[in-house]
Structure 1
Amino acid sequence: MEPGEKRRFKTLLYEQFARMGKALASPHRLELLDVLSQGERTVEALAQETGMSVANASQHLQILRMARLVETRRAGVSIYYRLASEAVSLLWLSLRHVGEEHLAEVDQLVTIFLQDRASFHPMTVAELREAMQDERVILLDVRPQAEYQAGHLPQARSIPVAELKARLAELPKEREIVAYCRGPYCVFADEAVSFLRAQGYAARRLEEGVLEWQMLGLPIVR
Structure 2
Amino acid sequence: MAPNWPFAGVVQLWANAGERASGEAGAVWWLRYWSWAEPAETYPPVPLPGMEVDCLGSVGLVSHGAKGLEVGEAAGSVPGSFLVRWGESAQRLAVPSQELLAEFETRPSTVAASSVGDAVRLASGAQQVTYSMRDPARPDGDLWSVQARRDGPLFVLTVHPANHECFSGVTWLSVAETGEVAACGANTWATKFVGPADRLTGELVLPGPDDVGTYLGCASRLELTDLPFTEDRRLAP
In terms of fraction of residues, the more helix-rich structure is 1
**What TM-score bracket applies, with the shorter chain setting the length?**
under 0.3
